[in-house]
Structure 1
Amino acid sequence: MDRRVVKSRQAIRDAFVALMKEKDFDHITVQDITDRANVSRKTFYLHFLDKYDLLDRVIEDAIREMDEFGQCVCDLDWVPATEQCFQYLADRYDFFGTMLTQAGAPYFRRRYVESCMTSFREEIRKVVGRHPLPEEDAILQFVVHAYVGTVEWWLQQGMPYSPKVMADRVGRMLEAVYAQLPSLRQPVHAGENSPTSLAQLEAGA
């Protein structure tokens, strides 16, 4: 690919992310982006259909790169793997600090959660084998949203602790949770008199 094409595309993406730090996505115009990137509108439309297409591509590229990185550290123990992940985020703080804390990009958070769901599910398979645990979806929701919420907090606070400290705390907790997974093979059986659904609760009211 022509170096000028690559350079202009990167300039557009960099300008877009910079603008996301300043205003909500809905308030960003193509003109804002081209002015910041110092390119023409014609150049913008040679690369992207509109600002929504630009957002989609920025997000998908970031998720793909993050997934590829995750594959590189997935064989490490929990603490060193978690340190690598937090360092990855720290090295790209301008991007993740914007996309994960910016109200204008909720789709990025959803894609990030989906990516983490896949990664943490694969880790469950390593521990308990290919057969799903009872209520595994609830376990995944707990682990993933605890992790993503911690990442968001860390970024919102300006990374108050180093990746090494975060790994020691978060990585050790994840390690402890996963160590307990084999003990969760048996499903929970509610007692006959224990309501287990909203309908049962309402019926008993």
Structure 2
Amino acid sequence: MSEKSTDRRIIRTKLLIRDALTELMEEKGFEGITVRDLTEKAAINRGTFYLHYHDKYDLLEQSEAEILTEIEKIALTINPTDFMNFNSENEPFPFIVNLFEFFHENSSFMKVILGPKGDASFQGKLKDFIKQTFFQNIMSKIKRENLLVPVDYLFAYVSSAHLGVIQHWLESGMEKSPREIAMILSRITLLGPRNALGFKKN
């Protein structure tokens, strides 16, 4: 068997296991899941499971790490200068469209991991990632003396607001397309909540 065929088989097996994890977390929560549940749901033997993961906690950790790695790749496409100069109210930030397209492709896992039966620590990891991305791509271009509010509160607001929009979109069945929800988030980010409500400055 060729190396590429082996790699594809490994990827396919790991996806089956992650899909099983997603379905079982939705059914009974992570703590109620056993390795036997996972192998039966994925239709694999225990040896195959242990070939890739030490236990269910390792499976969860690796699955979350894979998601964060892909999000980081999307973040690398951000051009700080373009982001700072972006002022269109009718076009979404391109990287936010890419981000929501990724969330859409992985919606089953994202919905459950960010939901009430998911992993609360992953929400913290995602918020930390948003904060870090915001700092690296935005704050490096801003003079701190021009800030109107303390930077730590700004980070807390931005990360919580973005995560809240992501969760609401997933929980509401993703009625908006990735581009539509990216447009909504871009407008809130660009205009602020007050202007987004229609209260324009005089």
> Normalized against structure 2, the TM-score is what?
0.76
Deviation string, structure 1 residues 100-138 (Cα, Å, up to 9, x no partner): 114231122111111111111123324405889562111
Q: 1:114 aligns with which of 119, 128, 151?
A: 128
Distance in 1, matches of 2:146 and 2:105, equals 35
**13, 27, 31: which one aligns with 2:32:** 27
Are 1:123 and 2:128 an aligned pair?
A: no
Q: CA 1:8 to 1:170, structure 2 compared with 1: closer, same or farther past 3 Å?
A: closer
Structure 1 gap segments, 5+ residues each: 178-205
User: Which secondary structure state, in structure 2, belongs to the residue aligned with residue 63 of structure 1?
Assistant: helix
**CA contact 1:101–1:155 (8 Å) conserved in 2:** no
Which residue number in structure 2 is paired with residue 91 of structure 1?
105
Alignment of 1:46-65 (within 5 A): 46-65=51-70
Is 1:14–2:19 an aligned residue pair? Answer: yes
Q: Percent identity among equivalent residues?
A: 28
Q: Distance in 2 between the 1:18 and 1:33 partners?
A: 9
Larger radius of gyration: 1
Q: Distance in 2 between matches of 1:132 and 1:34?
A: 56
Count of aligned residue pairs for this structure pair: 177
In 1, are the aligned partners of 2:19 and 2:109 still within 8 Å (CA)? no
**Matches of 2:154 and 2:93, distance apart in 1:** 23
Equivalent of 1:41 in 43, 46, 67: 46
Task: Tell me whether 1:164 sits opposite 2:179 in the alignment.
Answer: yes
Quick one: structure 1 residues 28 and 175, their matched pair in 2 at CA, closer, same or farther if it must change by over 3 Å? Answer: same
1:69-108 maps to which residues of 2 (within 5 A)?
69-74=74-79, 77=83, 79-81=92-94, 82-108=96-122
Runs of 4+ in 1 over 3 A off after TM superposition: 3-7, 73-78, 129-134
Change (3 A) 1:17 1:74: farther
Q: Describe how 1:130-169 pairs up with structure 2 within 5 A.
A: 135-169=150-184
Q: CA RMSD of the aligned region, Å? A: 2.4
Q: Structure 2 vs 1, CA of residues 130 and 47 (structure 1 numbering), >3 Å: closer, same or farther? A: farther
Contact 1:73 1:84 in 2 (8 A): no
Question: How far apart, CA to CA, are the structure 1 residues paired with 2:145 and 2:12?
Answer: 48
Write the distance in 1 (CA, Å) between the matches of 2:181 and 2:97.
7
Amino acid corresponding to residue 80 of structure 1 in structure 2: F
Q: Distance in 2 between matches of 1:132 and 1:70?
A: 25
Gaps of 5+ in 2: 87-91, 193-202
